[in-house]
Amino acid sequence: MAAEAHVLVFPCPAQGHINSMLPFAAALLDAGVFVTFLHTDHNFRRATSVAGSPRLRFLSIPDGLPDDHPRSLGDMLELEKSLREVGAVRYRALLASLSSAGHPSQDASDGCVDGFLPVTCVVADGLLTWAIDSAEELGVPALAFRTSSASSFLAYQTVHRLVELGEIPFPAGGGGLDEPVRGVPGMESFLRRRDLPSVFRRRSGGTDGGVDPDLDPILHVFAEVTAHSRKARALVFNTTASLEAPALAHIAPRMRDVFAVGPVHAVPSPSPAPAPASSLWTEDAGCVAWLDGQADRSVVYVSLGSLAVITRDQFTEFLSGLVAAGYPFLWVLRQDMVGASQDQDATTPQEAIKAAAGNNKARVVTWAPQRDVLRHRAVGCFLTHAGWNSTLEGVAEGVPMVCWPFFGDQQINSRLVGAVWRNGLDMKDVCERGVVERMVREAMESDAIRSSAQGLARVVRRDVGDAGSSAREFQRLVRFIKELSVEDAKSNHQN
């Protein structure tokens, strides 16, 4: 029989990465590919995903941390170390069994396990370099999937050049953050120091005796992970050439192949079955009913993502600015998002919002069905951390944005929104009530911003539609994966 493609999709165990790679897995299903989606045990227990297809299954491996570990942003390096040391061993054993046609639990007549053919390809999160290496060592071709923007990937790709040019590291504060950065190709016209990820800034504990000691160790890690993508059979981005053509053009010559297939959440599905849900939190569907009672384009939607943690003072500035802007707002406020107050008698954030805005002007939820919210007629702008998923979701729905980036690729994403695409405003490095009020009002009321946002949405929708650039790239990717499966089948037959 002809070889069929069976892809193991393995995201980094964080909400934003799952949000990107699960819709990608659903698109593979629609293309006729078998998919095994790999969670960590911890996330598998939390996930609301349901296998709605006979060609999709969810499996998991341990991440090596105890069940009650918070796995918060501050624990990410600990999680990465544990996953690399404990999870990697279990991953390798699992992949060896899933990719072996002679596994004892399989039906000898067709080489299937529970109706699934052996895994013929791995698409692993680009941050999980060991998952790519282990797959190739086992003879399973591996692709890297990056859930961040191509522009931020390019910035990490040019770290060594920026050091050689003396452009990094630079002081974390002071008046020099608006100095232009010339060393990232294709971004010379708009990139400033403050638009690079915060790890590019000089460490406070660094020495003045040389450049390297001043670099944040995390920057070294990201630069190495980025360089590792050259080892993968191909690099897949959740982006489109309409948004990031210059970055993609500069990345491609250094990779074996590059595919720009996004935004994957907006890819139309021919399947009548609902796409598997990706949220690790319980979504408050009642907020959509609340939006139903609001006027068109009257509501500010506020969400700073799944990892950002703000101080009580920052929360107060956001709240004061939102109330002063005068618009109703829907605020996603995770329980762990606002730091503890030193005042023992301080009200909770939820109580503070109720007291400041009242029940009629504000709705607070711990998690929201964001894509449904952004496409709702009542939402007029999106105050966001500019994570890549949120940025793409706002772009696809044509919603003006106010960006307050927190870390990682968010700094570059917010600059793209404010200075390149002009579908919103960039509020980085500032958290003052007057600025929040002014920018929210401008995003809600500016005809120019709304026109740019809606025009960009039309372009991106065409990209993922029939014969669009992302649709063509995805078809090319599926052919690439199927060809790898045929080559793998031939190799196994010869051996």
Report the catalytic residues: 17, 125
CB 137 within 8 A of CB 131: no
Q: Which residues of 179-193 are buried (b: 16+ CB within 10 A; e: fewer)?
A: eebebbebbeeebbb
Closest CA to 468 of 477, 479, 460, 476: 460
Cis amide prior to 263 (ω within 30 degrees) = yes
What does the block give as tokens for 69? 């570990």
Give the separation between CA 395 and CA 452, rounded to whole angstroms. 10
Positive/negative CA dihedral, 171, 175, 178, 181:
negative
What does the block give as tokens for 137? 């060592």
CB 121 within 8 A of CB 115: no
Query: In whole angstroms, what separates CA 101 from the centre of its chain?
Result: 34
Secondary structure in 3-state letters for the chain:
CCCCCEEEEECCCCHHHHHHHHHHHHHHHHCCCEEEEEEEHHHHHHCCCCCCCCCEEEEEECCCCCCCCCCCHHHHHHHHHHHHHHHHHHHHHHHHHHCCCCCCCCECCCCEECCECCCCEEEEECCCHHHHHHHHHCCCCEEEEECCCHHHHHHHHCHHHHHHCCCCCECCCCHHHHCECCCCCCCCCCCEHHHCCHHHECCCCCCCCCCHHHCCHHHHHHHHHHHHHHHCCCEEECCCHHHHHHHHHHHHHHCCCEEECCCHHHCCCCCCCCCCCCCCCCCCCHHHHHHHCCCCCCEEEEECCCCCCECHHHHHHHHHHHHHHCCCEEEECCCCCECCCCCCCCCCHHHHHHHHHHHHHEEEECCCCHHHHHCCCCEEEEEECCCHHHHHHHHHHCCCEEECCCCCCHHHHHHHHHHHHCCEEECCCCCCHHHHHHHHHHHHHCHHHHHHHHHHHHHHHHHHCCCCHHHHHHHHHHHHHHHHHHHHHHHHHHC
Closest CA to 136 of 126, 118, 122, 125: 122
